[in-house]
Amino acid sequence: MASKTGSYGQGMFGHDDLGSAYAALAELDEVALLLGALTVEGWQGAAASAADQARIAHVGAVRRVREDVRVLTLLLQRREDLRNLLGAA
Amino acid sequence: MTSSWYWVRDATTAADPESIARAATRYSMAHDSVRSAMTTLWSTDSRLGINLVVPLLHPVAAPQYMAELADLAVQIGLVLERIYEDLTILARGLQEHAAHLGMTALIYSSAEADVTAHIAMCRTLASVGCFAGSSGFTSATLLSSLPRYVSGMSGSQAGDSEQDPFTDPRLANFSGVEAQQQIGAITAGAGDGITDGAGVSALSARLSSLWRTLGFPPWARTSGVVVSGAGGVLWGGLNQSDHGSRIRRVNLQPRKLEHSHSSFPSRGAPAPLPVRWAGDAHPAQKAAAAIMHSEPRGILPVFAKGPKRLGFDGIGTPRTAGQLLARISHSSASGSAGQVQVLRHRSSVSGLRSWSVVISGTKKWVPRTLNPQDMGSNFQELAGEISDQHVSVRLAMELAGIQPDEPVEFVGHSQGGAVALSLAADPEVVAEYSVVSVLTAGAPTGPVMPGKVPVLALENLADIVPALDGRAALVGEHQQVVYFDAGGLGPQKAAGAHSSETYVEAANKLGSQSREDPALRSYREWEENRAKALRLGGDTKTKTLFFTTTRVSGSIGDATVGAVGLPGSAGVGTFEKAMLASRH
């Protein structure tokens, strides 16, 4: 809450934001890996194909979100760069 | 995002519950990771506003930087909003899929009758949040819950005996699943140290014994049932001796039955009961007179109006499971009488006939009523006994004139499904009729399963009734169970977990999807084989016969025997006396 004072502390310049976005990206990579490695071995016949379709749909959803988070990191990085320029001014 | 809302269990299904449970666990972990990512990003979002303000406070900020920073702020805000929305949907989808997989694993696990593995799986899945209803699989859990179910089933609430407790929204979904697991667990002997299939069977028998204890004394010993329709009246009941047919019947309307076909060809048509109609009649005659002169709800058959009004009702031929189940809602009942529908299918070209016997569920949620579709019959069925409703249906089949070489199917909802299966598994019925198919919906199917008759059993996962037998439905080369999640039909259907309408809608949806989903191939084949076995073609016309059923009040040895002039030999029950009289 120190930020409300207008401090120029490092956290105020978005280092933590970028770190958080990368952390989220890593978590989503983990989810994609987890779901990608899932198999339906030992499960044949009924519902097996439906389960696999659901898995593929979930993996697709994870990838879409991951792409958005990657865009977020680029935006945050640009903001970081601008702030560095401001800091140098 | 879609996930499966149904599962088929049949002889060709190969499932490894452990593998499915592992998948459920991983989905649960994936869900946790997504939630964690959301929390992480939330910290970004919460700082966003502050980080926008801070540069504005810079004393020498260049205008072009400020403009780009403002634009970035907007873009970041939009991206974050989209990410949150997608992550929320993703987290929900992963959680639901984990729960679905967990439930699937439990179903297959319970079907394997490996109690130790089943209980371990329940606990594992509960620990990762895949199944919330498995907090305590002990005898104490069920016993503490039992009064709630029993009081609900017995309709102990004043004036509430017509209410089907299993369609009560308060018992829907979670409660239903919870109850299934509790009842299944106690039957499986969790806490009794019995860990093999034989133990499961033994404990299932104990549960049946519980139902019998609850249901039999002192009202089980009735004097049979009277069934009327299609121009005849039959009084039937269980034979008290071990000789001959287990079900004996007496013709209360011989003049009409002369034109009826008997489905007991080896024994001939039942002989008339030599009694008079009016006055101090025998309870069976009173019951017959009552249903002959009453028209409850306007649809029960009144053959007294003449041979042209035999309760026939022309309808569309039911060609799918959904259409067949929809016939159940056409049955009616009153406090003193139940109803059985028999659909007669006839080819207008060949004249060949086939039949569908439609058996609806419990109508009276107390035992000891005049309507055989009551809790008394439920207890009898769950105890593995021949129920009064079982007898009623057999009499209705005889009155309908079903011939031994004419294909016949049974379809039933709830109690009706249990009766349908017990009929198809009854050696006498199989010997006397050409039973070609069975369809059950929301029925406890565990105690019996016919060996060679194709069976399709539909069970809503949120419906506790199929679990009341305390064991998984048997499946084999000719039998399959299709479990479904009524949540896949919408929230309203999920609430009516046990209602026949829910099953009709599920069957219609399954039938539609079976045309393109390989997982439902056996479902599609059942429908095709049924239509073929019943010889249903484009030239088939269908009519409905309605039969009224009622229990005969009074007990064996009733004093009214003398009033109807039956021989009163000591030590022989009323029904046996009537049978003796009918032979003379």
ipTM reported for the complex surpasses 0.85:
no
| pLDDT average, residue stretch B476-487 | 81
Least-confidence region, from A8-12, B220-224, B271-275: A8-12
CA distance B69 to chain A (A): 6
Is any Cβ of chain A less than 8 angstroms from the Cβ of B140? no
- State whether A47 and B104 contact (CB < 8 Å): yes
The whole-angstrom separation of Cα B259 and Cα B248 is: 20
Least-confidence region, from A66-75, B159-168, B372-381: B159-168
Q: What is residue B156's predicted lDDT score, i.e. its pLDDT?
A: 35
Residue B100, CA distances (Å) to A6, B45, B108, B505, B584 in order: 50, 33, 12, 20, 64
Coil, strand or helix: which one is A39?
coil
Identify from A5, A20, A39 which residue to disrupt to test chain B contact, counting B C-beta atoms within 10 A and taking the largest count: A20
- State whether A65 and B86 contact (CB < 8 Å): yes
Nearest of B497, B493, B435 to residue B465 by alpha carbon: B497
Nearest of B459, B451, B444, B448 to residue B478 by alpha carbon: B451
CA distance A68 to chain B (A): 6
Cβ contacts of A8 within 8 Å, gap of 6 or more: A87, B54
pLDDT at B224 over 60: yes
Is any Cβ of chain B less than 8 angstroms from the Cβ of A23? yes
Burial label for B63, CB within 10 Å (0-12, 13-18, 19+), is exposed
Is any Cβ of chain A less than 8 angstroms from the Cβ of B51? yes
Is any Cβ of chain A less than 8 angstroms from the Cβ of B37? yes
pLDDT digits (tens, 9 = 90+) for B155-166: 333 333 344 444
Identify from B29, B60, B87 which residue to disrupt to test chain A contact, counting A C-beta atoms within 10 A and taking the largest count: B87
Q: What is residue B289's predicted lDDT score, i.e. its pLDDT?
A: 67
Least-confidence region, from A65-69, B47-51, B271-275, B391-395: B271-275
CA distance between the termini of chain A: 26
The whole-angstrom separation of Cα B90 and Cα B35 is: 9
Cβ contacts of B456 within 8 Å, gap of 6 or more: B321, B437, B438, B439, B440, B480, B482, B523, B526
Q: What's chain B's average pLDDT?
A: 70
Is any Cβ of chain B less than 8 angstroms from the Cβ of A41? yes
Tokens 């028209």, located at residue: B295
Is any Cβ of chain A less than 8 angstroms from the Cβ of B59? no
pTM > 0.80: yes or no: no
The whole-angstrom separation of Cα B124 and Cα B117 is: 10
Residue B501, CA distances (Å) to B366, B415, B473 in order: 23, 15, 22
CA distance B117 to chain A (A): 16
Closest CB from A16, A46, A75 relative to B519: A46
pLDDT digits (tens, 9 = 90+) for B396-431: 999 999 999 999 999 999 999 999 999 999 999 999
Handedness of CA B293, B299, B305, B308 (dihedral sign): negative
Residues 97-116 of B with CB under 8 A from A: 97, 101, 104
CA B13 to chain centre: 22
Q: Cβ contacts (< 8 Å) between B6 and chain A: which residues?
A: 47
Identify from B5, B9, B27, B509 which residue to disrupt to test chain A contact, counting A C-beta atoms within 10 A and taking the largest count: B27
- Closest residue on chain A to B56 (Cα): A6
- Confidence category of residue B573, pLDDT binned at 50, 70, 90: very low
- Closest residue on chain B to A14 (Cα): B51
Inter-chain CB pairs, A–B, below 8 Å: 182
